[in-house]
Structure 1
Amino acid sequence: MTSRRTLLLAPLLACLLAVPASAREITHAMGVTDVPDAPQRIVVLTNEGTEALLAVGVTPVGAVRSWLGDPWYDHIAADMAEVTVLGEESAVNLEVLVSLEPDLILGNKQRHEAIYEQLSAIAPTVISERLRGDWKINMELYTEAAGKGEEGRAALAAFDARIAALHEALGASLEEEISIARFIAGQTRIYFKDSFSGLILDEIGFKRPAAQDKPEFAEEITKERIPEFEGDRLIYFTYETGNGEADTQAADWLADPLWQNLAVVKAGKVHEVSDAIWNTAGGIIAANLLLDDLEAIYGLASTR
């Protein structure tokens, strides 16, 4: 009788025996890896990596599920209809991954260092260093590994051109200090400059309130620190997964007298935006949608 273990190993052995006709060396966070010149069956293990591939016309055969959505963010769902779910960024389903017989795996050291050897035994594996504000650096690595380096650089250049155009169009509005808040189940965070949205705001040229003007990621705060959200504009997003707990957290804080007493709240310059777009997705598609939001907030013409 054929054992279940044998059945699981069969696709793995096929992957190991499949030698690409030609390959390139890619230097990454875990070393140097030979990857096929034109990989056809790519799996990607980060949300921002998924967006990097989609932006250059590559649909992965497998990807980790989006942090929000079932299983994908609304803004990428149409392009991911045929993609196999590989668990989550922090809990990859290796059995399913093996069954897809990939010829390239893209991951991140922060998430996947512990399983790098296992991944490398399945297929050539390329690993980025960090998450948070490094999405551009990571996109260059992912698209180069995928054989789409030129397209990746072009997509990033187009984004940078939008940043420059938005900077120009905003003019004196860039003097405004932008404050960022996030609500999670039982928790509220204040976001700094080494975050997805924080990095983009900094690139555009926006100022940040003194309490948020530091090269760090984020910090959980208590209600006594609500005054630290003061600014010329306040942008907030809520990580609601479906049980209502994050929405409850947001409603409680938004009704608090300290929140209601903020000058920015009294001025009507508070804006609710999508958590997926402003924080969780973390890739180039979300980054462009974030710029769309800013154009709408400031009543500007589209730079698309």
Structure 2
Amino acid sequence: MTYRTLTTLTLATLLAAPALAAPVTVQHDRGTLTLPAPAKRVVALEYSFVDTLLALGVKPVGAALGTQGGDRGAPPYLKPKVGGVVTTGSRAQPSLEGIAALRPDLILADSLVHKDTAPALGRVAPTAVFPSRRADLDQLNEQTLLIGRLVGREAAAKQLLADQKSLIAKARAFTKKGAPAFVTGVVTPTSFTAHTAGSFAGSFLEAVGRKNQLPVKDGQTQYELSLEGLVALQPQTLVLFTAPDETPVTAAWAKNPLWQKLPAVKRGRVYEFNRDDWTRGRGPTALKLMVAQTIESRFLQDAAPGTSFKYQP
């Protein structure tokens, strides 16, 4: 074998060899996390992380899809996509043993819900902690980029955000200029939790061109309001996030004369959206549904809500 032949074979071998994966580093709520290579086996402990991973083309090996502690499991729009994903408890009660059995090389955790369990999670596998539950739209978009980097899909993450920006710009074209500010909140059978301009849903509705009446209060992006507290705000527009299998507390409020005096009720500008779509997923896929519904409901146009979105207590 000649020297030239040997050199050619060596070069061909080098070219054919798989490239070594480079380490990836991100900043998160508990410091700096460096992985020796992009993660392949990911456990997601919040729905927004599940949504984001799936949008990036990465199926988690495990996720907090359980119903313990009052959790409702995966939002319906995600259920067709999570077949085969192992349930590792609920969001508030993740199973360390179940997670460890999956041999993850990355765990995604929430800075609020998992503040006490994050150290234990970190002993199971490298853990990135982000403020999902209390994040606004900009923060969640930043997380999309960071998660994309952690799983080797940063280019896909950038494309997702570019597509999202274009979609929001198209939605803004429907928004009526000078439309009055809105008040929005999640309504359960026992409470009305206002979502300020610092919440995900509240900041998203501002991104598509409407003004949120409520700023962050004492550092809280979400807080409870009574009927009397709502009346004091005199909202011209109300946006309610409810669950289809629950009777919201506003059904009882609607029988009160105070409710009937609300400007939003008098104007017929009370919109109802499914909170499974709006406040639980909080990811790129959920946002597409939200953009479509802001247009279909006629909220952006400040017109009377369409039948599917009209509040009917």
Q: TM-score, normalised by structure 1?
A: 0.81
Q: How does 1:1-304 map to 2 (within 5 A)?
A: 23-65=23-65, 71-129=73-131, 131-132=133-134, 133=136, 134-172=139-177, 175-209=179-213, 212-214=214-216, 216-228=220-232, 230-239=234-243, 244=246, 247=247, 249-298=249-298
1:238/1:250 contact within 8 Å kept: no
Q: Cα offset for 1:228?
A: 4.2
Distance in 2, Cα, partners of 1:70 & 1:208:
28
Q: Give the 3 Å change call, closer, same or farther, for CA 21–181 of structure 1 in structure 2.
A: closer
Distance in 2, Cα, partners of 1:229 & 1:83:
44
2:175/2:210 contact within 8 Å kept: no
Distance in 2, Cα, partners of 1:121 & 1:52:
24
Distance in 1, Cα, partners of 2:195 & 2:28:
28
Q: Cα offset for 1:79?
A: 0.3
Aligned to 1:10: none
Give me the identity figure in percent.
24
Q: Which AA in structure 2 matches 1:115? A: T
2:179/2:210 contact within 8 Å kept: yes
Aligned to 1:16: none
Q: Which AA in structure 2 matches 1:170? A: T
Distance in 2, Cα, partners of 1:131 & 1:204:
21
2:29/2:130 contact within 8 Å kept: yes
Q: Give the 3 Å change call, closer, same or farther, for CA 224–91 of structure 1 in structure 2.
A: same
Give CA deviations for 1:204-243 in whole Å, capped at 9, x if unaligned: 231233xx24464222122222324643432112257x6x
Distance in 2, Cα, partners of 1:86 & 1:31:
25
* Aligned residue pair count: 275
SS of 1:34's equivalent? strand
1:179/1:208 contact within 8 Å kept: yes
2:237/2:263 contact within 8 Å kept: no
CA RMSD of aligned residues (A): 2.6
Unaligned runs of 5+ in 1: 1-19
SS of 1:87's equivalent? coil
Give CA deviations for 1:2-28 in whole Å, capped at 9, x if unaligned: xxxxxxxxxxxxxxxxxx975323332
Distance in 2, Cα, partners of 1:54 & 1:157:
17
Q: Cα offset for 1:145?
A: 0.8
2:242/2:248 contact within 8 Å kept: no
After TM superposition, the structure 1 stretch with the greater mean CA deviation from structure 2, 129-138 or 54-63, is: 129-138
1:42/1:104 contact within 8 Å kept: yes
Q: Give the 3 Å change call, closer, same or farther, for CA 60–121 of structure 1 in structure 2.
A: same
Distance in 1, Cα, partners of 2:239 & 2:212:
12
The higher radius of gyration belongs to 2
After TM superposition, the structure 1 stretch with the greater mean CA deviation from structure 2, 103-112 or 128-137, is: 128-137
SS of 2:185's equivalent? strand
Distance in 1, Cα, partners of 2:36 & 2:170:
37
Q: Cα offset for 1:99?
A: 0.8
Give CA deviations for 1:266-299 in whole Å, capped at 9, x if unaligned: 2222111111222222222222211111010228
SS of 1:292's equivalent? helix
SS of 2:109's equivalent? strand
1:128/1:141 contact within 8 Å kept: no
Distance in 2, Cα, partners of 1:71 & 1:266:
36
Q: TM-score, normalised by structure 2?
A: 0.78
Q: Cα offset for 1:73?
A: 1.1
Q: Cα offset for 1:109?
A: 2.4
Q: Which AA in structure 1 matches 2:276? A: A
Distance in 1, Cα, partners of 2:187 & 2:81:
28
SS of 1:139's equivalent? helix
After TM superposition, the structure 1 stretch with the greater mean CA deviation from structure 2, 280-289 or 111-120, is: 111-120
SS of 2:212's equivalent? coil
Unaligned runs of 5+ in 2: 1-19, 302-313
2:192/2:226 contact within 8 Å kept: yes
